[in-house]
Each structure stands twice: as C-alpha cells, then as structure tokens.
C-alpha cells in the first residue's frame, strides 16, 4: 500500500487534502473538514461524515453546492460526536444544520448524540438517514437497509436547496424525499484490504463475485461464479427496478468501488443503460466514476433516483467540491 504506517493513514490523507485544496479548512487533529467561507450567511449548514476508506465521500464533497463540513472517522469506523459538534458549530449561520447520516449503527448512534449536544449549545439540528441499499435488509453493520450510493444524491440535491436559501425544514424534506426515491445495488469482484489488516477483509476466491456487497465488504445476497458485465447489469438493474418501481425519469450513478478502471465502468454503464431501456426506464442524467468507494475493492454499484423537474434542476445546479464539480 502507498502509505507510511497504518496508524497515520487518515491524518496523512487529511494533510494532503489541506495542501491540495486551500478552499477548505482541514483540522487534522480534530478530524473536521469545513468549507473556508463557512458559516455562509442565511444558509442552512449541511454536515455529513463516516468512516474513511470511501473517498471522495464525504470530505471530497465539501464545498459550494454540497456539504458545508464533513467528519472523517478512522477507516471503516464512525466519527465521534465531538467531531460532529465541532462541524455543526463551524457551519451554523443561525438557520440550523442538517446531519446527513448513512444507516450504519455507529454512525446513527454518534450523530444522534451529537445532535443532542449541538442543540444544548443552541444549534438547531435536523437529521436525515440514508438507507438506499436494495440488496439486503439487515447486515453486519446495520439494522435495516444500508446507506450507500444515494448519499451522493442526497448531499448534492439538498446542498443545492440550501444554497438557494431554503429553510431547514425544506432542506430536510428534500433530502428525505431523495432518499426515499433512491435504490442501490453493489457487486464485488475482489475483497478490499484495510491498512490495519494489510490484506483482504473477507474471502472471495478468484473467479467468484459477491452480488449485493456492502461498502465495508458486508455479505450480499449470493455468491456466484464470475459473470459478464451484461449479466451483472441485468441482475443489478432487475433488483433495483423491482424494488423502486420507477414511474418517472431517473438519475443514474454507476459507481466504482475503488479498483475498477473507467474503461470497465463505462462498459458497464452501457449495459446498465441497455437494461434500463429494456425495462422502459428513462435516464435523465448519468454519473460514472469512483464516488462511494470501498478502499481497493474491485467492483461497481448502481444507484437510481427518481426525479421530477424540481429535483433535476437541483441536481443540475452548480457544485464546486474536490470530488464533484460542474456549472458556473
């Protein structure tokens, strides 16, 4: 691995983020990433976070049009409430703060505690839980569906609404709606390796894949012999469409798990578009790349989000972050 020692992987990465992105304030010691112009006057603050190893989620999505702050934990480990309270205090302009929380037990408990502590300090806090994974209901890390690729959709669309000056209740409502209209499904072609372990975190023999894998390597629905890109797309699209039953155009995220090259991801995207077209699902926008990763896992996930004109407008609104940017 391209590291110094496992114990300093996260602070080393944060120092690199600070050096490369002066538009961010990166508190390496306290593990908080904040947009430099925070708090933005008359704007709801958006805060998210989670275990490191999923980059660019979440720190790479801090900036105009998305998050105001992010709290990175250790690799695959929730950040702690103190980080979240610091972040909330740094971005609160008086209009309140929205916590965007992926549905993993540690994240949920710590963000709940942080919300209570922040409210004790006079900060109005709302919370939205992301639980979009259609693969399984419960897992090693969760009660209920896991939070995966829809986190990007929630952070982008809610971030655009906050930038327009929407009040906290409205931003929260939009974020909840995006989550409810989203579903994801992931496939692993190889296991990920954590710096602490120095090797694969689970056993996936060569020539096999895990259908429905979680972003920490949690077991999915089933394990099969290797399938073609076309076969994987048909399987994943069938699961997501059957669960979501979209009756309007969708946003499509074709997401790499960390070790799958763009050449393969775009080939897979072609198959996903074909499979959706055969099921009469119209795609309004497509995003392809590594956005919600699992360290060095080979594989991909797809996320669909049903959109109307308003949600599509918010998706298209300008964004300027380290990991996602378009528009003025």
Catalytic residues: 54, 216
Contacts of 159 (CB under 8 A, 6+ apart): 46, 65, 66, 67, 319
Return the H-helix or E-strand segment holding 130: strand 125-130
Distance of CA 327 to the CA centre of its chain: 21
Is residue 114 a contact partner of residue 85, using CB atoms and an 8 Å limit? yes
Q: Where are the alpha helices (DSSP H) in 67-149?
A: 81-91, 105-120
Q: DSSP per residue over 236-256, as a string?
A: HHHHHHHHH---S-EEEEEEE
Is residue 151 a contact partner of residue 100, using CB atoms and an 8 Å limit? Answer: yes
């Amino acid at each position: 691995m391209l590291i110094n020692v496992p114990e300093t992987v996260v602070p080393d990465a944060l120092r690199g983020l600070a050096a490369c992105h002066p538009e961010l304030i990166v508190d390496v010691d306290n593990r908080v990433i904040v947009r430099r112009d925070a708090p933005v006057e008359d704007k709801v603050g958006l805060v998210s976070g989670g275990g490191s190893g999923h980059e660019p989620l979440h720190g790479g999505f801090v900036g105009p049009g998305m998050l105001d702050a992010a709290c990175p934990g250790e690799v695959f480990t929730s950040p702690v409430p103190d980080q979240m309270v610091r972040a909330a205090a740094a971005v609160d302009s008086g209009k309140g703060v929205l916590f965007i929380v992926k549905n993993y037990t540690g994240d949920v408990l710590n963000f709940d505690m942080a919300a209570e502590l922040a409210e004790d300090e006079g900060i109005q806090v709302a919370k939205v839980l992301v639980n979009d994974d259609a693969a399984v209901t419960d897992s090693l890390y969760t009660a209920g569906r896991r939070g995966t690729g829809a986190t990007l959709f929630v952070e982008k669309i809610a971030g655009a609404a906050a930038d327009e000056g929407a009040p906290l209740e409205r931003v929260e409502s939009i974020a909840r709606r995006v989550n409810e209209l989203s579903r994801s499904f992931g496939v692993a072609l190889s296991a990920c390796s954590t710096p602490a372990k120095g090797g694969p975190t689970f056993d996936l023999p060569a020539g096999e894949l895990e259908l429905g894998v979680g972003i920490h390597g949690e077991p999915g629905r089933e394990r099969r012999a290797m399938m073609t890109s076309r076969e994987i797309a048909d399987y994943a699209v069938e699961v997501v469409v059957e669960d979501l039953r979209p009756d309007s155009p969708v946003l499509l995220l074709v997401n790499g798990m960390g070790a799958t090259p763009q050449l393969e991801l775009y080939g897979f995207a072609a198959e996903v578009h074909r499979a959706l077209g055969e099921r009469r699902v119209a795609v309004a926008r497509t995003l392809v790349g590594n956005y919600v990763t699992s360290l060095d896992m080979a594989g991909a996930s797809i996320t669909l989000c049903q959109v109307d004109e308003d949600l599509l407008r918010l998706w298209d609104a300008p964004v300027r972050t380290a990991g996602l940017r378009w528009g003025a």
